[in-house]
Amino acid sequence: MMGKFIITKRKDNEFQFNLKATNGQVILTSEGYTAKASCTKGIESVKTNALSDSRYERKIARNGLYYFNLKAGNGEVVGTSQMYTSFTARDNGIESVMVNAPGATIMDETT
């Protein structure tokens, strides 16, 4: 069983993707893209960078919750995690992206 990238369209007509783990939980969300091709490139970037621990930026939000960003080689954020109540849960989220992203299938729900 593999993870899945799901491409959707937001209310503002921008495209975004979510990476879902095998249990169906969203583990990474992209920014909004004006073009579907850019969204697809973002997915490829996640697949490329997911295995490199140095690409993960471990953060703490103002409200004290933990999250992470996955960055591309150029330093641009390609995905942001959900909020976690502990750094252990956040690190498990990173591990989940590492496991699920490289072989994840892509489902396009915009058509």
CA dist 76 → 55, 71, 85, 88 (Å): 10, 5, 25, 25
The rounded distance, in Å, linking the Cα atoms of 72 and 14 is: 21
Q: Are strands 15-20 and 105-108 parallel, antiparallel or unpaired?
A: unpaired
The residues of the chain scoring below 70 in pLDDT are 1
Residues 6+ apart with CB under 8 A from 49: 55, 70, 71, 72, 73, 78
Judge: domain 4-108, CATH 2.130.10.10.
Answer: no
pTM attached to this predicted model: 0.94
Task: Identify the pLDDT of residue 111.
Answer: 76
Annotated domain spans of the chain: 4-108
Radius of gyration for the alpha carbons in the chain, expressed in angstroms and rounded = 13
Which pLDDT score, from 0 to 100, does residue 1 have?
64
Q: Nearest 5 degrees, angle CA 76-CA 81-CA 84?
A: 140
